[in-house]
Amino acid sequence: AKDKNGFPKGFLWGGAIAANQTEGAYLEDGKGLTTVDLLPTGEKRFPIMLGDLPSYQPLEGEFYPSHEAIDFYHRYKEDIALFAEMGFQSLRLSISWARIFPNGDDAEPNEAGLQFYDNLFDELQKHGIEPVVTLAHFDVPVHLVEAYGSWKNRKLIGFFEKYAKTVFTRYKDKVKYWLTFNEINMLLHLPYVGAGLVFKEGEDEQQVKYQAAHHQLVASALAVKAGHEIIPDAQIGCMLAAGMTYAYSSNPNDVWDAMEKDRESFFFIDVQSRGEYPSYAERFFQDNGITIDMEEGDTEILKNHTVDYIGFSYYSSRLTSTDPKVQENTTSGNVFGSISNPYLEKSEWGWTIDPKGFRITANQLYDRYQKPLFVVENGLGAVDELDSDGQVSDDYRIEYLRAHMKEMREAVNDGVDIIGYTSWGPIDIVSASTGEMKKRYGYIYVDRDNEGKGSFNRRKKKSFDWYKQVIESNGENL
């Protein structure tokens, strides 16, 4: 039943994290190196993320934040207890592929890696927290990049399928909610992050990206198939980096451009949710000289194994214009560049703050797919300072979240079927884009800085108690 001031009964409130941004212990208990383990802070980071600078080993003199991250690997019990204290009903996390298959193509899985997630899921169960598990959150075992060219290579489909089947079988009694690829559309923007792609001199990048995308889409569908076979009540979703693109003006050229930009992202979800390449893709491929190498049976796999729900992250809307003068005024925003919106404020990292855009985006996604939505990321990255008595008064974070939750409630009242909300980084974690610790999202402060100094101690921020009462009241007291 729906309550106008609240959320549907059973709505899954919680938080979302990813293995590489939290666990640390990057080579412990047999884990192999993953792509994210090769992302240093500093100036080499972006060229590597773009696939322009190959890197297969950590380099001397560089700092790699994922290697220790926030030491969740050793502190998960303490952290989960804090999540439970806030009343979390769900925790979204990812399995690190290289903990299970250190090289990606190993014959047998790594038992110690499997055991770690068993312990983690047991701990969640103890506190009545439902795990929502992402199979691939920006990580590929490095061996697969070196030996096979990562997702450029069709062989990755088989390796991924084997990994997916292994974890579905192992955790079938512990995990019901799954997501295949985190922010699958990110592949187009940060190809190394999204798919482990490293470009060779003279390679047609668009061609390579869309071929890799095809492999991921088939792999995702095969994971859905396996998940449904192995776990009868499984709910398997896709995951989109969402945020509607607005047209800067009423000039139809701007409107068309905005539509095309949205389609660039929807492309992935259209395949994962509707089960086939969208009609507009044909022309796009033609105009850009892209040919997708498909194998017999691919179309059928995509058609028969669509996702159960649409997971998405929302941080901001985007804005586009075809006017070169207007285009000069850009701002950053979860890697998707955007024109600065004159009506809206920005975060300290230049990400546009647009709560209403959340409602619009949720409606847009529901209109398009008519499947349950799961908000699996949303939040504000900000600098937090400890005041003289060691407290963090993060009213700005509360304000951001409150405004977004209000709009989410509006979306629910608009008739959008939203099944849960996991805010990003409920405990401070390493930033995916910049590798900073300084960019904090948490209700829980972690004593760790950009240079890797600090005790790793946890302390509650002001937002901790606020979120607690939000959950307690099922979103009535925002």
Minimum distance of ligand BG6 from residue 276's CB (angstroms): 26
- Total of residues contacting ligand BG6 (CB under 6 A): 15
Of 136 and 247, the one with the shorter C-beta distance to ligand BG6 is 136
Question: Please, which residues bridge with residue 94 across strands?
Answer: 134
Per-residue string for binding with ligand BG6, 375-414, x by CB under 6 A?
--x---x---------------------------------
Q: At residue 465, what are phi and psi to the nearest 5 degrees?
A: -70, -30
The sign of the torsion formed by the CA atoms of 350, 352, 358, 362 equals negative
- Please, what is the angle between helix 72-86 and helix 111-126, to 10°? 20
- Annotated catalytic residue, options 123, 130, 183, 377: 377
Give the up-direction half-sphere exposure of residue 106: CA atoms within 13 A in the CB hemisphere.
20
**Restricting to residues 313-372, which ones interact with ligand BG6 according to CB under 6 A?**
313, 334
Amino acid 69 reads A
Q: What distance in Å separates the CA atoms of residue 258 and residue 340, rounded to the nearest whole number?
A: 14
Region of 79-87, 220-228, 431-439, 442-450 interacting with ligand BG6 (CB under 6 A): 431-439
Residue 213 Cα to chain centre, angstroms: 16
User: Whose Cβ is closer to ligand BG6: residue 183's or residue 270's?
Assistant: 183
Cα separation, 137 vs 173, in Å, equals: 22
Token pair in block for residue 136:
């691939």
What CA–CA distance (Å, rounded) separates 475 from 477?
Answer: 6
| Binding positions for ligand BG6, 224-243, rule CB under 6 A | 241
Could you tell me which residues are beta bridge partners of residue 467?
none
Q: Does 424 bind ligand BG6 (CB under 6 A)?
A: yes
Question: Which of 7, 15, 18, 336 is close enough to bind ligand BG6 by CB under 6 A?
Answer: 18
* Closest to ligand BG6 by CB, 137 or 215: 137
With CB under 6 A as the contact rule, the residue among 224, 432, 446, 470 that binds ligand BG6 is 432
**Backbone Cα Rg of the chain:** 21
State phi, psi for 105 to the nearest 5 degrees: -115, 20
Q: How far is the CB of 77 from ligand BG6 (least distance, A)?
A: 23
Please identify the residue of the shown chain whose CB is closest to the bound ligand BG6.
Answer: 433
For residue 118, the minimal CB distance to ligand BG6 (Å) is 24
Q: Is 377 a catalytic residue?
A: yes
Q: Which residues are catalytic?
A: 377
> Given the rule CB under 6 A, which residues bind ligand BG6?
18, 21, 182-183, 241, 313, 334, 377, 381, 424, 431-434, 439
